[in-house]
Homo-oligomer: A and B are copies of this chain.
Amino acid sequence: MRTVVLTGPGSIAVESRPEPRIIEPTDAILRVTASCICGSDLWPYRGIEPVTQPRGMGHEYVGIVEEVGSQVQTVRPGEFVVGSFFASDNTCPTCRAGYQSSCVQRQAAAPDGAQAERVRITLADGTLVATPGMPAPDLIPSLLAASDVLGTGWFAAVAAEAGPGKTVAVVGDGAVGLLGVLAARELGADRIIAMSRHTDRQALARDFGATDIVEARGDAGVEAIKDLTDGLGAHSVIEAVGTQEAMQQALRSTRPGGHLGFVGVAHDVNLSGEELFFSHVHVHGGPAPVRRFLPDLIDRIWTRQIDPGRVFDLELPLERAAEGYAAMDERRAIKVLLRAE
């Protein structure tokens, strides 16, 4: 079968690999319908995370169950499933508390990469959620978005306590930030300020519920948020970048007593204890426990309440994955969907 491999910084190949097989009795094998390229895939692609050997890529996927291990009980061959990027048993105390992405058995859900024709998923029972039936083709992108970017934007909005009566600011206009806007709207926020300087992303942010756009960044961005909030800052701020500048901008844009939800994978970010202390901001984030939200998100997609698949602005066959990486790296695409069949 064909699979996407990162062979070195900036170098993507699509190679033939042996078909995946059940290794653990808790595994499942999926025929991948679609996978996609994540902003976090760009870190090793750009060489910011070291690449020491060729590596199967991708951790976002939807597909049809082909085979399950002997202990798998909740999904069956033939079902269409959505899963999250970290596998979880969904039964340990951490999972029961809603933090499946810190499950005591946490591991990569697709250790060999999900940008492939078939994928082995670990801890299938606790990781995969079946849809009510075979989805209409136009629902595939939205269901795929639920696998990571929607779940992550949703977690950020929940961590930021977006809701009625709140003004929410969103730092980052990638797919996660845009879906943070959508999540904030669904959670009932009064006002949603998207921080973006790209007109196409601004337009999508507005469609997803943004009421205001701020183009300024850094200190000027903070000032712009304060100007819109009586000098106080937003009640809720979503950070969806993962850089020092974005994290500081987010922290300083939050009012005292407000909530910062951060989901950008932190790279070389350091928070000053003194600044955090005097900010009076609640800070919470991390790798999104997508599994917590999947049943609800699938339901909202299935009933066409939300259309998160709109973040995919480039769709390619798996074979042309390298073009997709380049488009995301150069910010020509927000999010690239790879059709495996």
Q: Which residues of A line the B interface, CB within 8 A?
A: 93-94, 97-99, 101-102, 104, 230-232, 242, 244, 247, 255-257, 262, 265-274, 276-287
Contacts and interface: CB of A to CB of B under 8 A. Distances in A.
Given A93-B230, A242-B273, A268-B273, 20 more contacts: A93-B232, A94-B232, A94-B256, A97-B257, A99-B257, A101-B280, A102-B256, A244-B273, A256-B286, A266-B274, A266-B277, A267-B273, A276-B285, A276-B286, A277-B286, A277-B287, A278-B286, A279-B286, A280-B286, A280-B287
Contact of A273 (B97, B271, B284): B271
22 contacts: A93-B230, A93-B232, A94-B257, A97-B257, A99-B257, A102-B256, A102-B257, A242-B273, A244-B273, A262-B277, A266-B272, A266-B273, A267-B274, A270-B271, A270-B273, A271-B271, A271-B273, A271-B276, A276-B286, A277-B286, A279-B286, A283-B283
A271 B283 CA distance: 12
Nearest to A273: B269
A284 B283 contact: yes
A265 B277 CA distance: 7
> A interface, by DSSP: helix, strand, loop or mixed?
mixed
A227 B246 CA distance: 37
Nearest to A231: B104
Contacts of A284: 281-283
A99 to B, nearest CB: 4
B287 A283 contact: no
Contacts of A277: 262, 265-266, 285-287
Contacts of A273: 242, 244, 247, 266-271
A274 B278 contact: no
Nearest to A233: B94
A293 to B, nearest CB: 14
Given A270-B273, A273-B266, A94 B255 contact: yes
Contacts of A262: 277
Contacts of A97: 255-257
A24 to B, nearest CB: 22
Contacts of A274: 266-267, 269
A260 to B, nearest CB: 9
A50 B148 CA distance: 49
A163 to B, nearest CB: 14
A253 to B, nearest CB: 15
Contacts of A101: 280
B257 A98 contact: yes
Contacts of A269: 272-274
A158 to B, nearest CB: 12
A268 B272 CA distance: 8
Given A270-B273, A277-B266, A99 B282 contact: no
A161 to B, nearest CB: 11
